[in-house]
Chain A
Amino acid sequence: MLTTGPAKKVVVYLMEGEKYHGAPVYIAVLEFLFYRGIADATVTRGVAGFGADHKMHTSRLVDLADRMPIKVEFIESAQKVEEVLPKLAAMIGSGFFEIQDTQIVVASSVAPAAQPVIRREGKAKIMRILIGESDQWNGHPLHEALVESLRANDIAGVTVYRGILGYGAHQHIHKGTALSHDAPILLSVVDSEEKLRAYLPVLDQMVKQGLVALSDVEIIKYTHNAAAEDRRKEPRS
């Protein structure tokens, strides 16, 4: 978020036809800036110009029209500009860039609203439960029953994956096609070791056959918008 006062303006000069990892270099640069949280960026296409190769590029010559000069401009704080420069320098190929000191007179007034979030970070465990799609528990698909039971036990979160091929303890090959219901199922559960261990007896009586494995993870980010309504309280269809 830019504020009024001194800032840096960076202008990157590129060639239209150049690629970076298969994509036009100006799109790659723009996406890089966007995901790095740069306040704004503008791409301008020139109508004529020449660069380091000293060949004239004009839009009048059809065969050279894809070699037009492209300019990507953005304005950011000196610190942010410093952060993106090394990667930017590696991306631009035969292009170049310049940095100017600038002054922000009126800052944009669109500010993202700050939301209160719950955060948990640090050491935790990931539990992987491997079962079959056709496994049942009390007449319901086992993976659905497990998700409900994990939720009832206040486990932080679970994701169910459906595999396309696999085998397990009974050496029977599971092949998951769009129509079959015999795919391997993976439930990936993340929470503290203490909470997962406390849940194991429940798991034990539900999973008759399958594999359960625990490993270490480090939680980098776990946020929940506390202001939003608790979805657990909503009636379930």
Chain B
Amino acid sequence: MKLEGKAKMLRIHFSSDDKWQGRPLYEAIVERCRALDLAGASVFQGIEGYGASALIHRPHIFRIAASDAPILVQVIDTEEKIQKLLPVLDSMNFEGVIAISDVEVIRYTQDATDSSR
């Protein structure tokens, strides 16, 4: 896969509590990204935040199963590929923010020989 120059970054914000068919929503989204052959996706968990509902999301201090933390899923790919993901996200029907911005890809590599290790 090759990716360089002008591209788009899609960022999706929601809660770690959000589920899709009984599984964490972020896992389901990463799976969809892979199925669509997108260049990559990363999931980050925030420390604190609030969103449209204005309720503060704060993970439980002991990180037990029922914790409510903000989640950010970040995907970088060409505009065309990102546009393919949008209807899929739409059909998953969750509450959250989806934002797209311009990026310039400097480097996107897969080192076959893996000489760095």
Contacts and interface: CB of A to CB of B under 8 A. Distances in A.
Nearest to A215: B103
B110 A165 contact: no
Interface string B65-108: 00000000010100000000000000000000000011111111
Given A21-B54, A164-B43, A213 B104 contact: yes
Given A164-B44, A210-B107, A213-B9, 9 more contacts: A137-B116, A164-B26, A167-B30, A169-B108, A171-B34, A184-B42, A186-B42, A204-B107, A214-B106
Interface residues of B, number: 36
Contacts of B39: 168-169, 211
Contacts of A210: 107-109
Contacts of A136: 116-117
Contacts of A142: 116
Given A212-B106, A215-B102, A22 B55 contact: yes
Grouping DSSP codes into helix (H, G, I), strand (E, B) and loop, the A interface class, with mixed when no group exceeds half, is: strand
Interface in A157-216: 161-171, 173, 178, 184, 186, 200, 203-204, 207-216
A211 B117 contact: no
B115 to A, nearest CB: 7
Contacts of B109: 169, 207-210
Contact of B40 (A127, A137, A211, A214): A211
A166 B30 contact: yes
Given A137-B116, A208-B114, A209-B116, A167 B106 contact: no
Contacts of B40: 130, 166-169, 211
Interface string A202-237: 011001111111111000000000000000000000
A169 B1 CA distance: 7
Q: Which 3 A-B pairs have the closest CB atoms?
A: A166-B42, A169-B110, A208-B116
Contact of A166 (B43, B54, B115, B117): B43
Interface of A: 21-22, 127-128, 130, 135-137, 142, 161-171, 173, 178, 184, 186, 200, 203-204, 207-216
B9 A161 contact: no
Contacts of B33: 167
A213 B106 contact: yes
A127 B109 CA distance: 16
A215 B55 CA distance: 30
